[in-house]
Amino acid sequence: MVKMCKKHDPKQKNQLIALFFFFLYNKPMEYQGKATLEKITSLAKRRGFVFQSSEIYGGQNGAWDYGPLGIELKNRVAGAWWKEMTQLHDDIVGLDAAILMHPRTWEASGHVENFTDPLVDCKKCKSRFRADMVPEENLAAKKCPECGGELTDTRKFNLMFKTHIGPAEDTASVIYLRPETAQGIYVNYKNIIQSNRMKIPFGIAQIGKAFRNEIVTKNFIFRTCEFEQMEMQFFVKPGSDDEWFNEWRKRRWAYYEKLGVKMDHLRWHQHGPDELAHYAKDAYDIQYLFPMGWRELEGVHNRTNYDLTRHTQFSGKDMQYIDQDNNNERYIPYIIETSAGLTRNVLMILCDAYDEEQVADKGNDDDWRTVLRFHPRLAPVTVAVLPLMKKDGLAELAQDIRRELKEDFATDYDQAGAIGRRYRRQDEAGTPFCVTVDYQSKEDGTVTLRFRDSMEQARVPKQELAARLRREIKEYKRVK
């Protein structure tokens, strides 16, 4: 040790410096935001974003209800994705397939056989774990990571919810709640080619519910038994699949950039050979840095021609594409899938937007504000109209202004309490703009437009409000 310090080898020194910088820059980033899942869960309940399902009965695990602000946020996140996928792409069309599908679908897709998680139980404390989430040393020693009790052998557990259709509970009427929306697209792909004259390459987009009997549901709405997916399946000619796979990776990354998400909170994770699904040739996850760490947000998968080949075998129907522009060449298309969780995206947007900020130094609770810095296109309420006072005709004037804005914007109206408190309430709901109507408004027809992020205010003639808001939304850039 002493020797090393005395004798400086410049080459070795440079190597050490290079190593230091390599670790500095390649160190996995840790979450440094102000959100915690406890804070997000409590804010979500307090403000009516998300409630525990069946709370009065003690709650139903793995299921959540979206309140007035939550449904607006979820609809806007879904709307942004839908617009991106359908409106902005001439070669993608939409679909809304049924949740209940013919049970053969799930035999063909491989879900009956393969859609399993490894499961272990603790014989002592009765806790249940996904084996791949138990520390290796505990699994090897069969020791419960929670109480030290003995673990059972690993068993395979199918994640599909099984139920019966029709009055007789026999095997002929077994039916599954779909575990992914994708299969509804595959079984309809020929219908869509015929009805809409689609030509390869083309895509089908769908948003809908999916159900998985998850062994462990935790982290609020991150992993639930009932959730929503936003999936787009892109049908391509075999041989062009690698190129399209890379193209869709690029597009999905650019999408989150456009959504205004903190880009240093996103990264790619390529599936290793032991992670790849039975149908996949290559797969990348977009991971987001949640308060509990890096977790999957969306998957981009090259599903090959596996699904359509299997549906050909199981249904007896020809799933080949006939290329009329190319001498009626026939082939089973390859599929590039982009599969994102809608409800998981909602959690991501909540975490991404969450901030706490000191805004005064008076030594009381009001010094700090909690603010959700949603992109104005995603915010549940775009503009809140607040009369400074209820009296002297200010409330009526404010109501008139709200009525005019309502046609084009999601609005709220609040006349209760001090104006500062009302601003804070809107900050916490993520409302990007507040319009305050005061005595001057009565005189000269101007109002105060208050900006959530900077808390700056501008005086605007009320007839110019709508145009100004439209411009602010279009030019919005997140600064914090």
Q: Which is nearer to ligand ATP, 302 or 411 (CB)?
A: 302
Q: By the criterion CB under 6 A, which residues form the site for ligand ATP?
A: 180, 212, 214, 223-224, 227, 229, 296-299, 339-341, 343-344
Q: How far is the CB of 319 from ligand ATP (least distance, A)?
A: 22
Q: How far is the CB of 85 from ligand ATP (least distance, A)?
A: 15
Q: How far is the CB of 142 from ligand ATP (least distance, A)?
A: 25
Q: How far is the CB of 182 from ligand ATP (least distance, A)?
A: 9
Q: How far is the CB of 350 from ligand ATP (least distance, A)?
A: 14
Q: Which is nearer to ligand ATP, 107 or 296 (CB)?
A: 296
Quote the Cα angle for 310-312-316, to 5°: 130
Q: Which is nearer to ligand ATP, 343 or 441 (CB)?
A: 343
Q: How far is the CB of 168 from ligand ATP (least distance, A)?
A: 31
Q: Which is nearer to ligand ATP, 333 or 341 (CB)?
A: 341
Q: How far is the CB of 231 from ligand ATP (least distance, A)?
A: 7
Q: Which is nearer to ligand ATP, 378 or 381 (CB)?
A: 378
Q: Which is nearer to ligand ATP, 340 or 469 (CB)?
A: 340
Other residues' Cβ atoms within 10 Å of the Cβ of residue 149: 15
Q: How far is the CB of 178 from ligand ATP (least distance, A)?
A: 12
Q: Which is nearer to ligand ATP, 115 or 423 (CB)?
A: 115
Q: How far is the CB of 288 from ligand ATP (least distance, A)?
A: 10
Please, what sign has the CA dihedral across residues 243, 245, 249, 252?
positive
CB-based closest residue to ligand ATP: 341
Q: How far is the CB of 179 from ligand ATP (least distance, A)?
A: 8
Q: Measure Cα distances from 346 to 40, 66, 78, 240, 388 in Å.
A: 11, 11, 9, 33, 33
Q: Which is nearer to ligand ATP, 180 or 414 (CB)?
A: 180
Q: Which is nearer to ligand ATP, 227 or 374 (CB)?
A: 227
Q: Which is nearer to ligand ATP, 241 or 285 (CB)?
A: 285
